[in-house]
Structure 1
């Protein structure tokens, strides 16, 4: 029952954030800011997430998962509301950094919460539900976000006149923030025990498994973070695709991701966690490598959907493997270490991809990225073979 309560809270939160982030950049453009400043805000938020990851693990360990999750939800909703109110460059940049800082708290809590609420044998299925609902609520939130400003204008909920378009988006942003804040209500019924490390023991596991896991994760996230931020620009330049065509490709890819994530537990049950994860990694890399040779958008979009599906398919297994191999009192610290690596390497990957495209062209850079993905699958299989079926929890001393 507690897992379903958490899934309800996560669904409300994800729907609210999806509405918010669909409209936020459009709102900033209405305020007169350009893409360059939007990039600065995205960078500030990323830096905040990187800086907040490790402290978030410490807070979750010391306070308990329940209070940390509630603070993360409440803080994220409040900062989103403030970001829709502020108009100055410095204030917007500071709030973007603060948003990234606070978001790391709830992100770090998700895997330990799911691990505590489910037995080891059911974790892949539980994580698949978490990710499938997250993507699904993202689709619903995106659809609502596209309509909310129109409804605000239709019902005369905001000011009329020249400012009506901007004001309608601002009110819709606050509605999204409010929906995210509603996630707090179900969490009040969540029963989560507090498993703090023993006196003198670190919150962060420093076991051989953890080092191998993070090393494999670093290589994998160099692949994960590279192409997705640029897929819309690639389709626009390669195929002269319009907004509607790109939007359709994106929507189809999201449906493929939901399907893949729900099917993932069956794959892991058949192949095992390590082999199953490595297989999805290799499949994602191979499908990405087939995108550049395509001369028409339809097959390229189909391959992109498959690539994104396998990209997400590994996530339930990835999180299950980590939580299975870490002692309960160190799960928050392990999750923090994992997300520190994710945020850092994905930011590096996106920056490197963006810098390389003008010099080398999309085809060369995408093929190189696919090679990184294949290498990541090999590294993962090489470093973590033999750990998936072990139920011995590893702990580390100070």
Structure 2
């Protein structure tokens, strides 16, 4: 009861701008989950091949990879609220255009431009949350943003899974037709523009800064940070995870549909349940850290455990067993994500956190820029099993690198902290 009251009291301290931002997060979470669930089906139903599907799925990540740092600088220059408005409007408009453009080259260009907008929106979120919070409620704000986005995705998948059937009956068209999927995605895009309203209303706290100093500082920190070996130790595990995930995770809907003939409404329910499992995992993660007194140990333990369920997902002859593997794999792997991010931020100076975070984000994006395209090519020739084995192997390399780089480092750092803690002899 005390914890609940304390949490509620912290929420009440949020300014109106923070609450409006969280409202936009909920709306955007619902829309994005619907897009992820049906865009692959829509592209294939229109007659495009899987290699093109892989290419178009790579475009947003390529945009973030090539222009991520520049977009961050743009956000610094124009402010977080304008950057989020422009980014969200641009990405939503690009999503809508993809539903009507049929020329392949134009589709790829629009997907790339939409990726630029999406990157600008998400790059601006964390700095904005830092501005509208204080040290007492900041952790809760970041957690709510993550949790509400996940739960909104669960709700979105649950309702979106029923929508092809609704439009199929209403328009007298097959539920798995391009027209049915197009209508579902169009509804999601139209609703997506409503996320702009709270962003437009909210006010960004103004803190006068010297823009020339910011720019010089950014470049100086970037040069300094990339020369440090420790930075690349932090980056490598995320780079490997990003590529391993990129060749399988975007195609989970196709895998269940083609391998087990799972219907869209069941897929929606499964993806919603997965989001709930991830939410539960995010709550359990910090408790495991308290129990083992180690972030790295928990990260390695949960990620390694997820490999078992990844293989269950890949080679199960039964849909129900594959679904269990999918749920537990997602929960265990994603449980480690915020813990590793926290470890990274704790072990770099405050002035370097933004630079290191952008490098880690770009390393993840690098995998997603090329992974989906390569995956599409492999699926055509060999199916899904080789992709799952490749993902498991790359994940294992990431887990081993995390353990080798940071296990002893963390133990030594914890020991040093104990030695200097007041009251201990």
Q: What TM-score, normalized by structure 1, do the two folds share?
A: 0.78
* Displacement of 1:290: 5.8
Residue aligning to 2:146: 131
State the Cα deviation string for residues 258-314 of structure 1 (Å, max 9, x = none): 111233444556667xx3255124321233146537866556654543332232223
Contact 2:61 2:369 in 1 (8 A): yes
Matched residue pairs, number?
A: 382
- Alignment correspondent of 1:181: 193
Task: Say which SS state the counterpart of residue 226 (structure 1) adopts.
Answer: helix
Corresponding residue to 1:96 among 91, 107, 111: 111
Change (3 A) 1:100 1:382: farther
Asked if the contact 2:225/2:356 (under 8 Å) is kept, the reply is no
Counterpart among 332, 356, 368 of residue 310 in structure 1: 332
CA contact (8 A) 1:129 1:262 kept: no
How many angstroms does 1:16 deviate by? 1.4
The separation in 2 between residues aligned to 1:106 and 1:345, in whole angstroms, is 20
1:172 — aligned with what? 184
CA contact (8 A) 2:157 2:268 kept: no
Post-superposition shift, 1:9? 0.8
2:206 and 2:30 map into 1 onto residues whose CA distance is 27
In structure 1, the residue matched to 2:6 is none
Alpha-carbon distance between aligned partners in 2 of 1:139 and 1:263, rounded to the nearest angstrom: 19
1:143 equivalenced with 2:158 (yes/no): yes
Q: Aligned residue for 1:395?
A: none
Q: State the Cα distance separating 1:24 from its structure 2 match.
A: 2.4
Query: TM-score under structure 2 normalisation?
Result: 0.73
For the aligned residues, what is the CA RMSD? 4.1
1:221 aligns with 2:269: no
Bigger mean CA offset, 292-301 vs 103-112: 292-301
Asked whether the 8 Å contact 2:247–2:391 carries over to 1, the reply is: no
Structure 2: 5+ residue stretches without partners: 1-13, 418-425
Q: Counterpart in 2 of 1:368?
A: 393
Note closer, same or farther for the CA distance 1:235–1:287 as it changes in structure 2 (3 Å cut).
Answer: farther
Q: 1:255 aligns with which of 276, 293, 303?
A: 276
Counterpart-to-counterpart distance in 2, 1:122 and 1:38: 42
Taking a change above 3 Å as real, the CA distance of residues 252 and 68 of structure 1, as seen in their structure-2 partners, is same
The DSSP-based 3-state class of the residue aligned with 1:259 is: helix
Query: Offset at 1:140?
Result: 1.6
Unaligned runs of 5+ in 1: 391-398
Residues 1:196 and 1:384: Cα distance change in structure 2 (over 3 Å): farther
The residue number in structure 2 matching 1:393 is: none
Counterpart in the other structure of 2:10: none
- Residues 192 and 302 of structure 1: CA distance in aligned 2, closer, same or farther (over 3 Å): farther
Cα distance change on mapping 1:87 and 1:382 into 2, 3 Å: farther
* Residues in 1 aligned to 2:153 and 2:227: alpha-carbon distance in whole angstroms: 31
How far the C-alpha of 1:167 sits from its partner, in A, is 4.0
Structure 1 residues 368, 20: closer, same or farther in 2, change over 3 A? closer
Say which is worse superposed, 281-290 or 41-50, in terms of deviation. 281-290
User: Quick check: 1:340 aligned with 2:365?
Assistant: no
Q: 1:197 to 1:215 in 2, by over 3 A?
A: farther
CA distance in 1, matches of 2:288, 2:137: 14
- On the 8 A contact 2:248/2:388 being kept in 1, the answer is no
- Partner of 2:9 in structure 1? none
| CA deviation profile, 1:3-24 (whole Å, cap 9, x unmatched) | 3322111111121122233232
Report how far residue 133 of structure 1 moved. 1.7
Task: Specify whether residues 25 and 368 from structure 1 end up closer, same or farther in structure 2 by C-alpha distance, changes over 3 A only.
Answer: closer
